[in-house]
């Protein structure tokens, strides 16, 4: 009886895995490649490790944001901005090289955090399921580092916070995939319009916060563009 139960459980898990991979493939893979991608992924997939890169990054970002909300006693659409954090990119402390990477864990307010989480979870998880965590990790981290390097050159006196470099690297990669496989992508116009609306809104808010808000809330927006170029 135990053997039969285990067999049924394995079948259920396999069926759910098939559905998850199929949904992920429908989100990010052209129609002509879906069957081969699904078959290849299921043949290689062994849950070691599971696709948790984006989830792990997101949980860390949320935890650090909550930590500084409690420490600084503030939470709003544009705050808190923990200027003294050892994680934020500080243009006066470039010699602390880890800041070129760790600034991704700091967010300037609830809107900043929410917009980044929305894209990296909705888009990053399907990409990670299909293309493996380490490929998505390379794209994401490269976008983050490029963002801080670009900011240090184009906006050398401004702090930098947020995971926008990594998020925009994923977003632009998906946009390139949609454009190159336009006829084979489901809801191609809806995807394109959604990306355009999000990017336009997000960059407009970032530019406004940089040039029109108080000095206290100014952070650089160069990472958006650098991540996209990467």
- Kindly give, in sequence order, each residue whose CB lies less than 8 Å from that of residue 6, ignoring residues fewer than 6 positions away: none
Q: Which has the closest alpha carbon to 173: 205, 142, 204, 206?
A: 142
Token pair of 189, please? Answer: 């116009």
Token pair of 21, please? Answer: 């991979």
Count helices and strands (H / E) in the chain: 10, 0
Q: Which has the closest alpha carbon to 46: 23, 17, 26, 20?
A: 17
Handedness of CA 170, 171, 175, 181 (dihedral sign): positive
- 224 carries an active-site annotation: yes
**Longest distance between any two alpha carbons in the chain, whole Å:** 69
Q: Choosing from 164, 220, 222, 228, which is the catalytic residue?
A: 164
Contact 127, 174 (CB under 8 A): yes
Q: How far apart are CA 217 and CA 16, in angstroms?
A: 45
Q: How far apart are CA 95 and CA 121, in angstroms?
A: 32
**What DSSP element (H or E) covers 210?**
helix 188-211
Q: Choosing from 85, 151, 224, 228, which is the catalytic residue?
A: 224
Q: Which has the closest alpha carbon to 66: 119, 100, 107?
A: 107
Which residues are catalytic, by number?
Answer: 164, 224
């Amino acid at each position: 009886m135990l053997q039969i139960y285990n067999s049924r459980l394995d079948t259920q898990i396999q069926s759910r895995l098939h559905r998850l991979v199929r949904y992920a493939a429908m989100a990010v893979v052209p129609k002509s490649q879906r069957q081969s991608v699904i078959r290849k992924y299921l043949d290689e997939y062994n849950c070691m490790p599971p696709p948790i890169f984006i989830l792990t990054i997101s949980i860390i970002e949320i935890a650090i944001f909550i930590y500084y909300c409690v420490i600084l006693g503030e939470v709003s659409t544009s705050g808190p901005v923990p200027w003294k954090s050892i994680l934020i990119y500080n243009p006066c402390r470039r010699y602390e090289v880890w800041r070129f990477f760790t600034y991704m864990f700091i967010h300037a307010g609830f809107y900043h955090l929410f917009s980044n989480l929305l894209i990296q979870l909705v888009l990053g998880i399907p990409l990670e399921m299909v293309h493996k965590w380490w490929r998505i990790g390379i794209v994401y981290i490269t976008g983050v580092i490029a963002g801080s390097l670009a900011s240090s050159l184009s906006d050398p006196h401004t702090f930098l916070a947020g995971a926008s470099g990594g998020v925009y690297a994923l977003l632009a990669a998906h946009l390139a995939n949609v454009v190159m496989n336009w006829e084979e992508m489901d809801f191609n116009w809806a995807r394109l319009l959604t990306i355009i609306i999000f990017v336009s809104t997000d960059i407009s808010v970032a530019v406004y916060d940089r040039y029109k808000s108080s000095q206290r809330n100014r952070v650089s927006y160069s990472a958006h563009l650098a991540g996209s170029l990467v």
